[in-house]
Amino acid sequence: MEYLPQEIVLDILSRLPVTSLLHFKLVCKAWLNTAQNPLLPSLQFSRMAKNDPCLILHCDYPIRNQLYSFELSSRDEDNQTVHQIRVPALPEFDVVGSCKGLLCLCDSSTKNRLYVYNPFTRNYVELPKSTEFQTQDVVFGFGFHPTTNKYKVVKIDYCRKTHGNHRYYRGYGKSEVQILTLGSQEWRSLGQVNYHMLEAPSQVLVNGRLHWCTWPRYRGPSRLLISFDIADEQFRVVEKPDELHRIHYDLVNLGGCLSAAVPCSSGKEIWVMKEYDVKESWIKEYNIGIHVPRGLEQDLSQSFRDSKFFRNRSFVRVLCLLKNGEILLEYKCRALVSYNPRNEMFKDLLLHGTPNLFEASVHEGSLSWIDSFSDNDK
């Protein structure tokens, strides 16, 4: 390998899964230096559009505070194994989001300690603490904008009002939006926001914007679809079809398109916005029937039922669109299934080492080093 030009070596390495690169850099010091070349992560990301991502599984039972990974590109091999990831000694955490090789983690109890972590290089940073408020709801966002080349964390604090026993958001009340650019030492205040975003397992990043749907408002208009532009830091309403006005749906990024997964009597319908921010481009593209994977056949113990994952998640969650056209699904935080829309067939993914209860995040594995990001004003 020492006789090959450096650009050819990097081109070859950029085509390998991140787990293979981890083994590569352990061979010798020269190979370690090559794997740490700052050009390698950018080459990796330029090729990710042609490959399936990996999954990060956040385990809640039997061991909390544990992460596992699985390369989706290797899922057709005979030996399909989920690998445990060594996690730093952190407080019990939630996964805020995954973006361009990095995870954002949040302290589950206080919601005021945040970490950015690369699960493959295992380096991480604790972010500066934001201003604390006496709030009932905290919604986070974590994103990257390809034009500005900056990662940002958004924190929205709400003082929620209720109507009787119903969790309707009555008026806009008090809210506070704070934002931190990765590499900066201070959070910036963006003031209030006139929307009450619904916290989800992971916010959706499409076209350089984070997206949430809002809580239904008591005697108010239908729930809204809201975006936050990572570049200009503005909230905007995204137009959606009339069929999505009042029903519950989960947002998902399918093949780079903003999509809404809607539960129905026959399973799940998926609406896809083919052209970003064009209302007329929304189409109902997928209908996923009812399926009960083998992983859900066993009885649940009380430990399962007490899990924060089990209580707060829908029965089936759409994760991503694979390169072969199949859709990856997560069932009640206990089973992974691929669905082929061409023949309407389901395939249970029985992966060795899968934890009993988990929340899956679609992740782009990378050897990016967090400390390479410099301080930025915005």
Residue pLDDT, tens place only, 5-60: 777 777 777 777 777 776 676 677 777 777 777 777 777 766 666 778 889 999 87
* Residues facing 95 on adjacent strands: 105
Q: Is the pLDDT of residue 218 over 70?
A: no
What CA–CA distance (Å, rounded) separates 338 from 330? 9
Low-confidence winner among 71-75, 167-171, 329-333 (lowest mean pLDDT): 167-171
What does the DSSP 8-state code read for residue 192? -
| 299: helix, strand or coil | coil
The residue ranking higher by pLDDT, 199 or 163, is 199
What's the pLDDT at 350? 85
What's the pLDDT at 375? 47
3-state secondary structure 156-173: EEECCCCECCECCCCCCC
| Sheet hosting strand 102-107, strand order edge to edge | 93-99, 102-107, 114-117, 124-126
CATH node for 52-373: 2.120.10.80
Q: Is the pLDDT of residue 184 over 50?
A: yes
Distant-in-sequence, close-in-space partners of 244: CB < 8 Å, separation ≥ 6: 225, 260, 262, 271
From the centroid of its chain, how far is CA 290? 24
Q: What's the mean pLDDT when you consider all of the chain? A: 82
What's the pLDDT at 320? 94
Which helix (DSSP H) or strand (DSSP E) does residue 31 occupy?
Answer: helix 29-35
Low-confidence winner among 36-45, 93-102, 191-200, 245-254 (lowest mean pLDDT): 36-45
CA distances from 270 to 68, 172, 239, 261, 285 (A): 28, 30, 16, 4, 6
* Banded model confidence at residue 313, pLDDT cuts 50, 70, 90: low
CB atoms within 10 A of CB 120: 20
The residue ranking higher by pLDDT, 372 or 312, is 312
Q: Is the pLDDT of residue 286 over 60?
A: yes
